[in-house]
Amino acid sequence: RPDSASHLALDLAGPEALPISKVVGLYRRWLGSRPAGEFTLPGSVAAGLYRVGDAAALLGWRPPMRSNAAKEIVRGAVGDPQAWITATGIQPSSLEAALKLNPATVQERWFARLYFVKPAIFTVLPFFWIMTGIISLTTGWRRGVDLLVGTAIGPLAEPAVIAGALADMAVGALIAWRPTSRLGLFGAIAVALFYAIAGTMLRPELWNEPLGPFLKILPIMVMHFVELAVL
């Protein structure tokens, strides 16, 4: 309307100020989870975790637990909704009422349960690939070469071990770097398939090893598909 308010800065706030523990409790009840236990981290430990989040951000990820979040927590996110109630006539509902109007679905429950699984996977698998390559070039060098000696590619055993180690480290680095993570996951699946096929041709007896070096390729590949699903 011609007489509509303009050039206003309005706080979009609910009718009650809630501490974070209350917000967490409401969401856990909404998801059907048990109440969470509470404990307070020492400031130095919390600061260290924020720095871990900042380090992940340098790799292109956007974790919510970063130093900027710490500043917002100290500042506090509070506001007075009365001005926008007056300007719009809209009465804000409480968080509890809003959640009751929108029951949690299976999608929300899956998301909540996978929330901490995702960073765990994206930490462990790059570490796995990079360390596999490093071990192949250092303490595991002789073992890797000996596995190929006496096979059809015996004369190329050392170059093959070097190529495999470099491929492993490249895959791990690609997964760790957010802009190339998807490419790295597909690369890891391709490398794992190649290892399974080539290994079956060169050393089929490893399928029958007690520690299952070839059998472990299967769950590792499935884990990469999980990563792709939650990326």
Tens of pLDDT along 174-210?
999 999 999 999 999 999 999 999 999 999 999 998 9
Give the 3-state secondary structure of residue 31: coil
pLDDT digits 0-9 by tens, 99-117: 999 999 999 999 999 998 9
Least confident of 4-8, 39-43, 164-168, 221-225: 4-8
Q: Are residues 135 and 225 in the same domain?
A: yes
d(CA 229, CA 223): 10
Residue 95 belongs to a domain: yes
149 found inside a domain: yes
Considering the domain architecture, whether residues 48 and 132 belong to the same structural domain is answered as no
Claim to verify: residue 76 and residue 169 sit in the same structural domain? no
* Whether 52 and 126 share a structural domain: no
Last residue in a domain, options 74, 103, 132 = 103
If one compares 107 and 20, the residue with the highest pLDDT of the two is 107
Assigned domain for 3 exists: no
Question: Is 83 inside any structural domain?
Answer: yes
Count of Cβ atoms closer than 10 Å to residue 20 Cβ = 9
Tell me if 165 sits within 8 A of 154, measured CB to CB. Answer: no
Q: What are the tens digits of pLDDT across the range 63-84?
A: 989 999 888 888 878 888 998 8
Q: Given 71, 103, 135, which residue is the final one in a domain?
A: 103
Q: What is the pTM of this model?
A: 0.84
Q: How far is CA 26 from the centre of its chain?
A: 24
CA–CA dist 196, 226 (Å, integer):
20
The answer as to whether 66 is a domain residue is yes
Which residues have CB under 8 Å from 82's CB, separation 6+?
A: none
- CA 130, CA 178: separation in Å to the nearest integer? 16
Which of 103, 126, 160 terminates a domain? The answer is: 103
Could you give the CA distance from residue 223 to residue 225 in angstroms, rounded to a whole number? 5
Number of domains in the chain: 2
**Is 6 within the bounds of a domain?**
no
Q: Answer yes or no: do 92 and 125 share one domain.
A: no
Report the Cα–Cα distance between both ends of the chain, in Å, rounded: 45
Rg of the chain over all Cα atoms, to the nearest angstrom: 26
- Find the mean pLDDT for residues 118-142: 95
Residue 173 lies in a domain: yes
Question: Who's near 59: CB < 8 A, 6+ residues apart?
Answer: 176, 177, 178
Could you tell me if residue 5 is inside a domain? no
Retrieve residue 80's tokens.
């007075």
Do 66 and 123 fall into the same domain? Answer: no
What's the pLDDT score for residue 5? 74
Range of the domain at 38: 20-103
Q: Using the structure block, give the residue that is written with the tokens 């996977």.
A: 121
Give alpha helix (H) positions in the chain.
20-30, 43-58, 67-75, 82-88, 95-101, 106-114, 117-137, 141-148, 157-176, 181-202, 217-230
Q: How far apart are CA 120 and CA 83, in angstroms?
A: 44
Residues 135 and 212 in one domain: yes
Q: CA-CA-CA-CA torsion for 52, 54, 57, 59, nearest 10 degrees?
A: -60
Could you tell me if 77 and 176 lie in one domain? no
pLDDT of residue 6: 80
